[in-house]
Amino acid sequence: MVLVFQLAALIFSVIVHEVSHGVMALRLGDTTAKDAGRLTLNPVKHLDLFGSFIVPLTLFILSGGSFVIGWAKPVPYNPYNLKNPKLGSGLIGAAGPFSNFILAVVFGLLIRLLVPYAEIQMIATLIYLFNIVVFVNILLGVFNLVPLPPLDGANILFSILPKSWAPVQGFLQQYGFYLLITFMFFGFQLIVPIIEFLYRLIVGSVIGS
């Protein structure tokens, strides 16, 4: 049951994440995502067999049920349709993690509202499930801000790097995927304190409920 809900929360969250990219691109003048029919919460338009199912299930099993992450098909955009391609790409990149943090805050507020009634079994169950939603979205938001391609953090970084740093950008674009895999195996613990801090900040004293 927990696995099913974690997977459902993850799928919903990554879909909102990707749609947010498309919505921001549309606001900045690019209709690529809209034309491709990607500005919808319909899972069929977004889910990726490997990233939305195989990876989360594998991580859930390997971590003993304590960790799950995944992704949906990236929402396309054309930077040449943007008035300011460099800045626009950064804003589009930031929209995804921002949407996850918004979801985390919304469900965190719901948890705080429900805590006084936690003695009721149904309410206690909702608090537990909402905690999962909060954690999944904080995890997605923080992880995607890591400045390594193909994560959103790389687009944000590239949007603020001066032209003199072009060789650094080129290096990251060429080797970013391999660096990301290395990070996931050996550097992920670096962002765990950030995830835990934001989790406690949002849900308050009910962490682990």
71 confidence band (pLDDT: 50, 70, 90): confident
Higher pLDDT, 60 or 114: 114
Annotated active-site residue 119? The verdict is no
Given a contact cutoff of 8 angstroms between Cβ atoms, the answer to whether 115 and 107 are in contact is: no
DSSP letter string over 154-165? HHHHHHHS-GGG
66 confidence band (pLDDT: 50, 70, 90): low
User: Could you tell me what percent of the chain has a pLDDT over 90?
Assistant: 74
Alpha-helical (H) ranges within the chain are 2-27, 32-35, 55-62, 85-114, 121-144, 152-160, 166-186, 192-203
Given a contact cutoff of 8 angstroms between Cβ atoms, the answer to whether 72 and 46 are in contact is: yes
Mean pLDDT of 56-76: 79
Q: Return the number of other C-beta atoms located less than 10 Å from residue 83's C-beta.
A: 9
* Residue 199: predicted pLDDT: 96
* Residue 207: predicted pLDDT: 44
Is the bond into 76 cis (omega within 30 degrees of 0)? no
Higher pLDDT, 151 or 60: 151
- In this predicted structure, the answer to whether residue 64 has a pLDDT above a threshold of 60 is yes
Give the pair of three-digit tokens for residue 12: 């919903």
* Residue 59: predicted pLDDT: 78
User: What confidence tens digit (pLDDT) does each residue in 151-199 have?
Assistant: 999 999 999 999 999 999 999 999 999 999 899 889 999 999 999 999 9
- In this predicted structure, the answer to whether residue 2 has a pLDDT above a threshold of 80 is no
The catalytic residue among 7, 18, 46, 108 is: 18
* Residue 51: predicted pLDDT: 80
Give the pair of three-digit tokens for residue 67: 């960790």
What is the residue-averaged pLDDT of the chain?
91
Mean pLDDT of 93-114: 97
Q: Could you say which DSSP state residue 190 is in?
A: G
Dihedral of the alpha carbons of 51, 57, 62, 65, in degrees to the nearest 10: 120
- In this predicted structure, the answer to whether residue 62 has a pLDDT above a threshold of 80 is no
